[in-house]
Amino acid sequence: MQKPANLQQSLEDYLKGLVVKSGLGKELFVVWTPKPDYKYEGEVKNNLIVIYSGTFDEARKTLKHEFLEYIVTKAASPYKDIINLQRTVLNSIMRQLEEQAYQDKEKAVTALENLFE
């Protein structure tokens, strides 16, 4: 499917409008690569929104969706980092507690062995 250059430019202009209205996503670019039978309508790859929708109207709708998804995902990213950090810290603490529990159990077994000698 061919796409006229002016339709690509229209999507770029639409993205610029979304950026101006939201004040977010200045780092984003858009490219329209129509693939009507592709499993996705669009996706974000780093700072590039790739649109696969077959028609311009669908492409514009997909661009808006992918832009919003990018903004929400980016806003949630620090929380994901915090959760991963907490998970790392908790895993370290759990390993220490498991090691201490193992040592305590070994002491208890040794004490019980001494009782039954």
Which DSSP symbol is given to 55?
S
pLDDT confidence of residue 101: 95
Predicted pLDDT at 4? 63
The CATH number that applies at residue 88 is 3.30.2010
Domain count, the chain: 1
Q: At 36, is the pLDDT very low, low, confident or very high (cuts 50, 70, 90)? A: confident
Does the structure show a pLDDT above 90 at 12? yes
Taking the CA atoms of residue 74, residue 79, residue 84 and residue 87 in that order, the dihedral angle to the nearest 10 degrees is -160
Provide Rg for the chain, Cα atoms. 27
Q: How far apart are CA 3 and CA 71, in angstroms?
A: 27
State which residues form the domain around 51: 5-115
User: Residue 93 has which token pair?
Assistant: 């603490």
Binning the chain into helix, strand and coil, the percentages to the nearest 5 are 65, 10, 25
